[in-house]
Structure 1
Amino acid sequence: MRLKYVVEDTDRHGTVRLYYRRHGQKVRLRGPLGSPEFLTDYRRAAEGPKAPKQRSSSPGSVVPRSVKWLCVQYYKSSMFRELDPRTQKVRRSILERFCENKGDGDKPFALLLPRHIRARRDALADRPEAANSMVKALRQLYRFGVTYDLADANPAKDVEFLRSNPEGFHSWTIEEIETYEKKHPVGTTARLALALALYTGQRRSDLVLLGKQHLRGGWLTFTQQKGKGRNPVRLEIPVVPELQRIIAATTTGDMTFLVNGYGRSYTNAGFGNRFRKWCDEAGLPHCSVHGLRKAAAARLAELGCSEFEIMAITGHQTSKEVTRYTKAASQKVRAEAALTKMGGERK
């Protein structure tokens, strides 16, 4: 039997080995020559090595011109990098969840239409804030695409927001504040957290960073964390006597007023979780730390402060949000003033 490209190689022990040799390829063949095993190996060697199976999308790969690809380009851009770290984290998380749902991230971003986004929005109808956050993130993603000539249109711009709770976070009442204070007396970190939030009107991202280094002549001087990279807001807020009394009576950290049981500063998320437990312990499951920011603004409105005076405390750049915070309180003040005038006329 004569077959092409078959060679024999005899080693020093006299053993004969069979090989298929062609174009630099050398493949060992099972013997003996002409056996079924030999013929099977010969056919395989003659067919050549099989090309590796190509996978459409391996884990971690990005399909060119897909939604996920557009996200990657967005993350590299200055439009994304100029956002503050927390906003970056939240927006990236929203976009990644969008891409992971039903493989939408591998689909061409140019084919995403408003009706597709509405369908995804309506699937979150039981969580309107989450649905609206998704639409906002997609608007910014495609705004980047249009600005950088990667996309022709912004499909998310034509998608309407769902109606959410117009009141937002629950604003603490005087009775709820008193209930919390009875459960957490002066000297505890829980009480200090309440006082800082109530007497400064700041977000939790600022509360966890406030410390002795921000105290200057009876004033708290600091820059708010939200928008710090793009539009920083620097505030100077007087420390009222009640807040000063509670700070002096509480064990604080070297760099932050609020510290956990190990003497370490809280992270933003860690403080939110801890405050949630403090509220639950006081029987206030519907209250939150952000609700104290609203309560502070409402209390200032009840005391007759103008919107600009309140903005000087909360750090808001426009009166729109302050108006929403203080709507009920402002109505109460105006009603009292109106009826006082009416009573004076009748008298």
Structure 2
Amino acid sequence: MPEDSMKMRLKYVVEDTDRHGNVRLYYRREGRKVRLRGPAGSPEFLADYKAAANPKKPRPPRAARPGRLKPGSFKWLCTQYYKSSMWAELDPNTQKTRRSILERFAAHKDNGDKPYALMLPKHIRKRRDEMMDTPEAANSMVKALRQLFRFAIRYDHHDANPATTVEPLKSKSSGYHSWTLAEIEKYEETHPIGTTPRLALALALYTGQRRSDVIQFGKQHLRHDDGVAWLVFTQHKGRNRSPVHLEIPVVAALQEIIDASETGDLTFLVSEQGRAFTNNGFGNRFRKWCDKAGLPHCSVHGLRKAAAARLAERGCSEFEIMAITGHQTSKEVTRYTKAASQRVRAEAALKKLTNGQT
């Protein structure tokens, strides 16, 4: 540093002589000592002085961004599931329902941030018991977790499925109300042949199908064989994973109603605007048609149950009923037709008891 500048001593600059007699320059302040390059007054010296006088504050550790996933957490496993082909194969409505269940489980007591590998049957069973007031919802949760960990095993994220040993709760409900003959007649009195509500009833009752299939039936699904009309289609549910192909004869009563009704080009059922119904839209519209007939406890799904029950009352076997409804196991059919089957067996038993007289 020039002599005149040396006289202007820079603040906090001190000199120190090492054991070899070399003079060292330092910036010393509040216990902090920083070596400065010499000679004093050189560009290097001034740069070091400026840096020492204005040290950069250490960056605070980056906080986890809100919503950032922890690898190995339950939420992380869910996101991997949503990206998989197993998820892509599910029906959009099933995806929506299952995602909602998994997200509710993740939100409960911060389950989402906990390691999924530490989840045991007792943890799932505890949450199931907390939901015992709504057994159907509890059982749906267990089912969703079984599918999630089934994915985890298949994709080598885990080696066990803690939900498989969790028992479902006994349901307090018998499910959707199955229409009685009197209720069907009451609906038919309100909605005569030729109207869309009556066509909807006939399609559901005489085919035994879900509303997702009923709204898609159209002329393109009709095939004729030796003068008999058949509905040939693939059920909407599970069509991407395990498709169920059905051929159902069109009974005379259904054909009569189709012929008398105004139908669409690609679907028999169309809205007032002439468009095909969406699944939810049809469900809401059918609800209004039932309410108009004074049947607030009846639903379109209850017609599927009623169709199975009527087949059972006429002595059809479970496998014959499954050929109409498309069920792959007899478990659900048995639940649908339990009361009807009991009635048929009771009638047959009494005929045997009275030698054919009832």
CA–CA distance in 2 between the matches of 1:178 and 1:22? 97
**What is aligned with 1:283?**
294
Q: Which residue is 1:14 aligned to?
A: none
Corresponding residue to 1:103 among 102, 105, 110: 110
In 2, the alpha carbon distance for the partners of 1:171 and 1:85 equals 27
TM-score by length of 2: 0.80
Distance 1:273 1:91 in 2: 22
How far apart are the structure 2 equivalents of 1:3 and 1:214?
A: 93
Preserved contact between residue 308 and residue 337 of structure 2 (Cα < 8 Å): yes
Q: Relative to structure 2, which stretch is displaced further, 292-301 or 312-321?
A: 312-321
Distance of aligned partners of 1:22 and 1:48 in 2 relative to their CA distance in 1, 3 Å threshold: farther
Separation (CA, whole Å) in 1 of partners of 2:108 and 2:190: 44
Mapping of residues 135-154 of structure 1, within 5 Å: 135-154=142-161
Check whether the contact 2:81–2:151 (CA below 8 A) recurs between aligned residues. yes
Letter in 1 for 2:310: R
Residue 333 of structure 1, aligned match among 344, 347, 350 = 344
The 5 Å alignment of 1:1-347 reads 2=10, 46-49=54-57, 51=59, 54-59=62-67, 61-165=68-172, 167-217=174-224, 218-344=229-355
Q: From the superposition, tell whether residues 153 and 318 of structure 1 become closer, same or farther in structure 2 (CA, over 3 Å).
A: closer
Shift of 1:50: 5.5
Deviation at 1:136, TM superposition (A): 0.8
Whether the 8 Å CA contact 1:113–1:155 is kept in 2: the answer is yes
CA offset at residue 91 of structure 1?
A: 1.8
After alignment, is 96-105 or 136-145 more displaced?
96-105
| TM-score, with structure 1 as normaliser | 0.82
Show the counterpart of 1:29.
none
RMSD: 2.6
User: 2: distance between equivalents of 1:269 and 1:165?
Assistant: 26
d(CA) in 1 for partners of 2:247, 2:357: 45
Distance 1:346 1:149, change over 3 A: closer
Q: How far off is 1:175 after superposition?
A: 0.7
Q: For each residue in 1:207-255, what CA deviation from the matched residue of structure 2 results, as whole angstroms up to 9, or x when unmatched?
A: 1111111112221110111221222111111111211122222222211
Q: Deviations over 1:105-153 (max 9, x none)?
A: 1221122233322232223222211111111111111122233332243
Instruction: Tell me: CA distance 1:249–1:3, structure 2 relative to 1, closer, same or farther (3 Å).
Output: farther
CA distance in 2, matches of 1:98, 1:187: 47
Q: Kindly tell me: are residues 227 and 50 of structure 1, through their superposed partners in 2, closer, same or farther at Cα, counting changes over 3 Å?
A: same
Letter in structure 2 aligned against 1:65: G
Q: How far apart in 2 are the matches of 1:152 and 1:231?
A: 25
Whether the 8 Å CA contact 1:57–1:63 is kept in 2: the answer is: no
Hey, what's the Cα distance between the residues in 2 that align with 1:287 and 1:345?
Answer: 36
Does the Cα contact within 8 Å between 2:351 and 2:357 map onto a contact in 1? no
Larger radius of gyration: 2
1:191 maps to amino acid: R
CA pair 22-194 structure 1, distance change in 2 beyond 3 A: farther
| Equivalent-residue separation in structure 1 for 2:283 and 2:254 (angstroms) | 20
Corresponding position of 1:13: none
Higher alpha-carbon deviation: 72-81 or 62-71: 72-81
Q: 1:244 and 1:4, CA in 2 relative to 1: closer, same or farther beyond 3 A?
A: farther
| Aligned-pair CA distance for 1:166 | 6.0
CA distance in 1: counterparts of 2:192 and 2:337, whole angstroms: 28
Identity, % of aligned pairs? Answer: 67
For 1:251, give the aligned amino acid: E
- Per the alignment, in what secondary structure is the counterpart of residue 132 of structure 2? coil
Partner of 2:30: none
Q: Which moved more, 1:82-91 or 1:63-72?
A: 82-91
The alignment of Structure 1 onto Structure 2 pairs a total of residues equal to 313
Corresponding letter in the other structure for 1:257: F
